[in-house]
Copies of this chain bind each other. A is one copy, B any other.
């Protein structure tokens, strides 16, 4: 039987594709993943999508960059966009009368998590240009990380603590409506990656007691049976030189 969903993404680190994998894994969906093909075969597929001569097809514009989701004739990219397509199909968004607008609240949380705890964390090690090596922007990375840790990170962690405290989160550990949604999976992955990048800083945040709901939320996602099985499987790749990177000189507690 052909796989229902096809994920096109680089191998070698969880990366942006991980948000899509976690949704598919939590739902027990059938999917293929080019990352499992290894760099050569995967690269051929992904580079062809990004090539100058790929103009898309009659109904799909060419994608800008992976990750890309193919589902039948549909080919779409951008993390939050793919998730807004998959969410209702995978049962990761509340449905039914009066819940038609829930997806906009969930998508808002997703975009905020990706901005603050994925894009901003990436830019801590690459503040000047994605195209340059870390070593060539290390001075700037140290400065940016210091500011991020002092000002931005507490703001982001505090925001999600506030969301979890709010009435709209409902009973239980989840972000919205008292039920697990794909926003929970995104926040988990963002915090997991940020913890990889800044272990000392996140450990101090945890010990501060200021973000107890947030760290309970993290554990609640991590212990979902399918997520837990996935994280222990070989399908879960280790962090290396992707979105989230560990450099000892960046992981410094504020004075």
Q: Is A62 an interface residue (CB 8 A)?
A: yes
> Are B111 and A84 neighbours in the complex by a CB distance under 8 Å?
no
| 8 pairs, A vs B, C-beta closer than 8 Å | A55-B162, A60-B168, A61-B163, A61-B175, A76-B105, A81-B107, A119-B119, A129-B147
> Are A58 and B168 neighbours in the complex by a CB distance under 8 Å?
yes
A239, B58: Cα distance in complex, Å: 38
Q: Is A132 an interface residue (CB 8 A)?
A: yes
Q: Is A167 an interface residue (CB 8 A)?
A: yes
A142-180 near B? 1/0 per residue, CB < 8 Å: 011001100110000011001101111100000110000
Q: Is A28 an interface residue (CB 8 A)?
A: no
> Are B166 and A140 neighbours in the complex by a CB distance under 8 Å?
no
Distance in Å from the Cβ of A162 to the closest Cβ of chain B?
6
Q: How many residues of A contact B (CB 8 A)?
A: 55
Q: How many copies of this chain are found per oligomer?
A: 2
Scoring A61, A143, A159 by chain B CB atoms within 10 A of each residue's CB, the highest score goes to A61
Q: Is A101 an interface residue (CB 8 A)?
A: yes
> Are B123 and A167 neighbours in the complex by a CB distance under 8 Å?
no
> Are A84 and B62 neighbours in the complex by a CB distance under 8 Å?
no
A40, B118: Cα distance in complex, Å: 33
Interface residues of A in 55-87 (CB under 8 A from B): 55-64, 74, 76-78, 80-81, 84-85
Residues of B close to A151: CB separation below 8 A: 129, 131
Residues of B close to A148: CB separation below 8 A: 129
> Are B128 and A140 neighbours in the complex by a CB distance under 8 Å?
yes
Q: Is A112 an interface residue (CB 8 A)?
A: yes
